[in-house]
Amino acid sequence: MTDHITRGRRDTRPLHYAALTDTVQMTVPESDMVRQRCRTIVTRLTGTALHDDRLLYAAEHLATHLPSRLRTKLLTLRDRGNVDGALLIKGLPIGELDDTPHHPSEEPAWWDVPVASLVQLSIMSILGSPISYAEEKAGQLIQDVYPQDGAEQKQENSGSVLLELHTEDGFLRTPPDYLSLLCLRSDHERRAATVACGIRRVLTGIPAEMLAILRRPRFQIAFSSSFVADSQPRWTQPLPVLTGPTDDPNLCVDLHGMVALDDQAEQALNVLQELMEANLVGGVLEPGELLIVDNNSAVHGRTDFTPHYDGRDRWLRRCFVTNNLRRVRADIINGRMLRSRERDTVPG
């Protein structure tokens, strides 16, 4: 049995990335129109919980007014995927902003950032149903992502060291199918790049014997510290990194929190890591840019940056969706908040 040494404890290193190719740019009139429509929803629903169906369905109806070019891109990502497992939407309205929060107590209610909240929910509703996990960030359906004083070294989105490539919540039985990150504010030096790599981009570079190993249950993932109440290390059962179709597999990996259970598995994971790091796409997100990651076929991470804690720090908002709410309905505690269950062992 492994001694469970995580692989991610290496020095910060530069990551190189190419610009994302699958992008949609909203025009100014399109963006203004969406902003106006958001305003009418806010007038009606301020004070309603984000988990309330009335609000979620209002966001879903709003999606019918998004430009058809954008809707088609989202539908294509949903149905066909793409080689990088990522889509960037630019020029979205985000509305007026206060200071970046420093602490959870300063995080805004959705009606304090209504345009950003509704735009993100509405876009994500084309890909699936928004969900959250009770154990993470109090089950908020849209989560504020900002650097936290004292958390700099953490491999979480509150940290500011290099956040290693990962599948989101890969240790759970029902991880999100897609996640989105909406940028409200970039970091001061514009260094913090969100990066991603799709498995389809690197598949042909992985030798056949390594592919076979990646399909065996010879890996374990540590639960993220945000999911473990007593901060005792907790590990999944052994699981494979790759499952499903040969030419379009599902990927579940965490380059910080995963251990390989033997030397061959470790070698295969190293090969995968090198290939993924050599084939990253991404960029420093600008206000009004929304990055969507297909969590079944791509990993994502973030380069390091320096927080200033002056109210003008980097600020993103994150939202997850499942593409099959029926499958997780028994786990719902409240609204769309799920009790988290550990990933089942999948035979390799």
Ligand X SMILES: O=C(O)CCC(=O)C(=O)O
Site residues (vs Fe ion, CB under 5 A): 168
Question: Residue from 30, 136, 164, 168 that binds ligand X (CB under 6 A)?
Answer: 168
Contact partner at residue 73 from ligand X, Fe ion, none, CB < 5 to 8 Å by partner kind = none
Q: Tell me the closest approach of the beta carbon of residue 181 to ligand X, in angstroms.
A: 6
Q: Are strands 143-145 and 258-260 parallel, antiparallel or unpaired?
A: unpaired
Number of H helices, E strands in the chain: 8, 17
Contact partner at residue 206 from Fe ion, ligand X, none, CB < 5 to 8 Å by partner kind = none
Q: Tell me the closest approach of the beta carbon of residue 302 to ligand X, in angstroms.
A: 4
For residue 1, what is the DSSP state?
-
Q: Tell me the closest approach of the beta carbon of residue 166 to Fe ion, in angstroms.
A: 6
63 or 290: CB nearest Fe ion: 290
* Site pattern 184..223 for ligand X (x: CB under 6 A): ----------x-----------------------------
Beta carbons of 310 and 320 less than 8 angstroms apart: no
Question: Residue from 125, 157, 180, 220 that binds ligand X (CB under 6 A)?
Answer: 157
What is the DSSP track for 228-278?
-TT----BPPPB-SEES-TTS-EE--BTTTEEESSHHHHHHHHHHHHHHHH
Q: Other CB atoms closer than 10 Å to residue 159's CB: what's the count?
A: 19
Beta carbons of 108 and 101 less than 8 angstroms apart: yes
Q: Tell me the closest approach of the beta carbon of residue 295 to ligand X, in angstroms.
A: 10
- Is residue 181 a contact point for ligand X (CB under 6 A)? yes
- Is residue 316 a contact point for ligand X (CB under 6 A)? yes
Q: Which residues lie closer than 8 Å to 290 by C-beta, 6 or more apart?
A: 88, 89, 92, 119, 120, 123, 180, 181, 182, 183
Count how many Cα atoms sit within 13 Å of the Cα of residue 185 in the half-sphere of its side chain.
21
Closest listed residue to residue 291, CA positions, set 202, 209, 206, 186: 186
Q: Is 105 exposed, middle or buried (0-12, 13-18, 19+ CB in 10 A)?
A: exposed
- Is residue 268 a contact point for ligand X (CB under 6 A)? no
Torsional sign, CA 185, 190, 191, 197? positive
30 or 187: CB nearest ligand X: 187
Q: Tell me the closest approach of the beta carbon of residue 192 to ligand X, in angstroms.
A: 6
State both tokens at 60: 């879903």
Q: Tell me the closest approach of the beta carbon of residue 71 to ligand X, in angstroms.
A: 25
Q: Tell me the closest approach of the beta carbon of residue 144 to ligand X, in angstroms.
A: 10
* Site pattern 284..313 for ligand X (x: CB under 6 A): ----------------x-x-----------
84 or 168: CB nearest ligand X: 168
Instruction: Give the number of residues in contact with ligand X, rule: CB under 6 A.
Output: 10
Question: Residue from 20, 41, 94, 145 that binds ligand X (CB under 6 A)?
Answer: 145
Contact partner at residue 318 from Fe ion, ligand X, none, CB < 5 to 8 Å by partner kind = ligand X
**Contacting positions for ligand X (CB under 6 A):** 145, 157, 163, 168, 181, 194, 300, 302, 316, 318
